[in-house]
Structure 1
């Protein structure tokens, strides 16, 4: 005999119920709800929060998701809804679709849904994903003001033209161009040229004066043992003799390029200009004893490495040794183009400092 499990309501359906049960619940949108209520999965109900503060957010929805996108937008705005029909009700009229309800709120006239879509995805999406979302919105959605969408959402003035160039490349892949949108700016051809190394420019565009002040502040706090390590590393860098160091620590150069990487993605967000070791050095996902990192001669990353004086690799103890070995082989190969003797030096003669906590 087959038995059926009792149906458990989704968080959204339970939100409708909570709005009928708790008068106070009707003061919050679905995305705001976890601030004042907690979800209990076994009974499938929301209960009033007794302590603590939580920031709630909805899962991202792609700009081409149709009705799901407009449902998502309504959940960000409408408060106290008690059913799907209630969500689609505006000024007493029940609309056929979530899009019609969103439009009845006057939110389609100025492309607000697209601004909100980019803003919502910006919390967790990487720059390439945000560029892809921007291209999808322009290519497949009825947008009234592409320039306003661009001006309101692009970041980092120094990288503006590089972002435009990357967006143009994405458009080219689907047979379109930024030139199809009369108001959108178009980058100079120089930004499409290999002569402009974006990676190198990123690593040489830091505020040196600000970093100098920070360096002097932290340098004065070093204890004798730490200062000894610091002096040894700096001496190796300026004498260009290379070397490999490991700094054991718990918890976590003027005109010179330092690449800061970490083995774990969450740590990267705490590092200025940090990257994961996998993304920076193109380490293959499947590692073997004789693996090499995917860095080719003549590429931007190869040029960046050839001008690098120091690599700091955080959280090294959790990284598989084949990852270090693959980077070592590739760096020896890349640096041998400068000096054949560097092919015999660890990491091509670049000073490398590993850090981490074995605990």
Structure 2
């Protein structure tokens, strides 16, 4: 048995049905979708306001009040720059690029260049290299969100995409640790026991075999001297060594002067719910 039905026009109001959701990352479609939801009924309405036809969906959506203006992004970065560290500020900047699509991307980069690169100012390199490193750090965050610098108008005329270094801030800091001339010659006066440990550690490192060593001895027996000797030998091969200590006093006599809490973001007050605050992009 078949039932025959007829479609009747809604009596309550005129509505637009079956409007699918649009990913905000597809910015053009998302803006057009926002205008349709607002009440556009034809293609001419998408870019028309008060009988004035505009060139882009974005411009029309801004005038409709459906999108935040670029001024809000500047206020966001301005406020964040007052208390956020440069690394966190770069993550925020990348997030704004991906999810908010500001139209003045390059203007934002130029205006907040100093705040975004403040932790690179101590590098003994040219401004061009510093900007490359900052853009490289931003690019790492963008790649984690499925984007790259090539998707945005950020590359400067004197910086090629191939100049963007993939090294993050932690790697740059380690590679910039100064090795004194005296430390380079420190492998010569090692005694027999120190030389044995020195060779065992380097053998594991250069053969890429995992190893765990526990060095113990009374004060003044040369433990710190041995640590520094291994550090220099590994660094001279172009490798990175994270040399840390449990206290600030102990760290002060080691290259880099870093404590475990500083390096691995270990909370000072520990409980069963604490974790190390190390980001995915570190």
TM-score (norm 2): 0.35
TM-score (norm 1): 0.29
Report which of the two structures shows the higher radius of gyration computed on alpha carbons.
Answer: 2
Higher strand residue share: 1
